[in-house]
Structure 1
């Protein structure tokens, strides 16, 4: 017969503990202790599940360090791109960059190790230019394709759901010209709305970084000759039909070098220039060679931009409506803006997508901001302009 060990609780008077010290040292496990242990294990398991539930794949590794802060994004943009011979053609390269170095007062920064398998930028890196997509020139840092074919259009595009439902893209342009309006647009508009910067603006690099941190996709407006030029003047370094091809390309590169981290360009004015295939061809070739998208603002029925873009393999989108026409007024009327937005909703439901453009008037920003808060409930997805572009290279 097996020997019975342990305390003989049955022989002990109620309320008396014959060996408290031994019990405290963990003699026989009681039912109460077992229940406590099981409860603790359940709590720990639940906490671990909750902490892991929202973590997606390819989460960057963040490491606190005490090394000197890296240069600001402007300094990064001015550095030359890595040599194509530094790694096999088309091979992705991991890179280590510091996030928000200018906001770190402790002397310690946060380093994010980027996953080379990701095509686009991580949201926390969206304000930092990808040096592999920059070419140094006398005009400044120009966008360029990577040797493996990756384009700025791919790298800087904002992600969207990819579903087949009705979707609308809105571009608000003229940013950088007014500091107040630019800040207002970035703060008030949903990040799905694309922001377009004028090359003649001020502090463009800083505003680009602010917009990208806020989640916006960015494009660049290029001044092109309208009918009635020079009385109607888009501004400095306008591309014109009376200028040589070399000079127009020089002016285009000046504009392209004003900011980084943008997916494409959009004409500013340009009804006369965009109607001239002879002058549009070299411009579209340059845009395509640099891996950028072209957006036609839709204000000219004579534009040959679509045919030129598809011929040159350039991602292309054309606006369906100018949402804030001013006519003879100095500013648009909110009621008219809402009518144009309603029209975009009808187009999106019928065709699957629609694109509208507007300017950074206070009335436009406020009206679009209010509309954007409600449109999702009506079954419309707001998307960046890259989500409605036709990409010949994706076919």
Structure 2
């Protein structure tokens, strides 16, 4: 009733006031934000999938190569090196160095493989157009001073030992020794291994030990050839240590390019050539670890044959009682030696002195004995002191090659 009375009493021409309606959106602000975020993620994913630049986000340098002028074309008909690497499956980044300041100067571009990190220098311009060389980090070491070039052979990794007529590396690079005197009295030889990695300890061994002590270098280190050259300058003879598989490999890993029983003979030979190319001037090879490899005849025989073919000797450090190296070397009639005592198996002064005493006794008993040690400061100090009075006790210190030859003749 009230509502009807109000309608009848209301003035004519005037409507009843109505409530204003608010505009409502079919979604909330949070829903809108979620949609926008989703669109952004879809756009980003599409860009990442369909963008064809595999090095996107990595720094790149674009290099403009000057077109040769008429004078250049007249004097040089060689193809330009701008297309170097077009057949490569890997994309490369480029960085420049030594940019030319004048027309006709050479420009060196370092090509860096984006996936492997390998570096190659490409010389552009001048007479060297189109030629490339491996960067210093991966280049084979230069031939050392005092090396007979006739005793070298080129391999894919660099120069490796070879025989030339009657000349063999074992004889040419053996250290000088009084072999007539060595034939008449007990002799000892000492091989210090693990050199070439760590310039300080290697230099310490080179300078503090007598020249008659033989030094064995691993193929690793930034420049083992330079340290080996210094050792030869101090009249030490040198051997090259070849990393071989131990029984607990890979928990105990000798290093890159280790010879493995699981590889084929060709694969191990390729790795051997890499090791042989790391330096020159060594008289023979010796195992670096390798208790399993040196005891496995199918794996070890090809290595011994190759060493004999290249005029090298082989020294077994004596760490593997199951080694087949003596029989393999005997079948090749090559110089061979085996370690008798590990001098610093327990690296304390007292134990090292005790081992050296045993080495003397073995030399008196058999006429020749060989000890092995590492380049620990305590080992170098005790061995150096021991050798100073060795001659007074009627025993001659000789290079390893002399001991090997005496063992073969006795």
In structure 2, C-alpha distance between the alignment counterparts of 1:235 and 1:213, rounded to whole Å: 28
Structure 1 residue 392: Cα displacement: 11
In structure 1, C-alpha distance between the alignment counterparts of 2:374 and 2:355, rounded to whole Å: 14
Contact residue 175 and residue 201 of structure 1 kept, 8 A:
no
Query: Of residues 341, 352, 356 in structure 1, which corresponds to 2:367?
Result: 352
1:342 aligns to 2:371 (yes or no)? no
Match of 1:160 in 2: 177
- Cα root mean square deviation, aligned: 1.7
Query: Of residues 128, 139, 145 in structure 1, which corresponds to 2:163?
Result: 145
User: What is the SS of the residue equivalent to 2:252?
Assistant: coil
1:272 aligns to 2:287 (yes or no)? no
Alignment TM-score, normalising by the size of structure 1:
0.66
Q: Alignment length, in residue pairs?
A: 267
Query: Of residues 154, 157, 165 in structure 2, which corresponds to 1:136?
Result: 154
Contact residue 341 and residue 370 of structure 2 kept, 8 A:
yes
1:178 aligns to 2:198 (yes or no)? yes
Rg larger for? 2
Structure 1 residue 389: Cα displacement: 1.1
Structure 1 residue 196: Cα displacement: 0.4
User: What is the SS of the residue equivalent to 2:286?
Assistant: strand
1:293 aligns to 2:293 (yes or no)? no
1:237 aligns to 2:289 (yes or no)? no
In structure 1, C-alpha distance between the alignment counterparts of 2:217 and 2:358, rounded to whole Å: 25
Contact residue 225 and residue 234 of structure 1 kept, 8 A:
yes
User: What is the SS of the residue equivalent to 1:196?
Assistant: strand
User: What is the SS of the residue equivalent to 2:385?
Assistant: helix
**Where has structure 1 moved over 4 Å in runs of 4 or more?**
74-77, 390-395
In structure 2, C-alpha distance between the alignment counterparts of 1:392 and 1:380, rounded to whole Å: 16
Structure 1 residue 202: Cα displacement: 2.6
In structure 1, C-alpha distance between the alignment counterparts of 2:388 and 2:409, rounded to whole Å: 32
User: What is the SS of the residue equivalent to 2:299?
Assistant: helix
Structure 1 residue 179: Cα displacement: 0.9
Contact residue 310 and residue 392 of structure 1 kept, 8 A:
no
Structure 1 residue 394: Cα displacement: 7.9
1:372 aligns to 2:387 (yes or no)? yes
Contact residue 337 and residue 407 of structure 2 kept, 8 A:
no
Structure 1 residue 201: Cα displacement: 2.3
User: What is the SS of the residue equivalent to 2:378?
Assistant: helix
Structure 1 residue 136: Cα displacement: 1.1
In structure 2, C-alpha distance between the alignment counterparts of 1:176 and 1:342, rounded to whole Å: 28
Match of 1:124 in 2: none
Q: Where does the alignment leave 5 or more consecutive residues of structure 2 unmatched?
A: 1-140
In structure 1, C-alpha distance between the alignment counterparts of 2:405 and 2:221, rounded to whole Å: 29
Alignment TM-score, normalising by the size of structure 2:
0.63
Q: Where does the alignment leave 5 or more consecutive residues of structure 1 unmatched?
A: 1-73, 78-126, 327-331
Structure 1 residue 225: Cα displacement: 0.4
Structure 1 residue 216: Cα displacement: 0.2
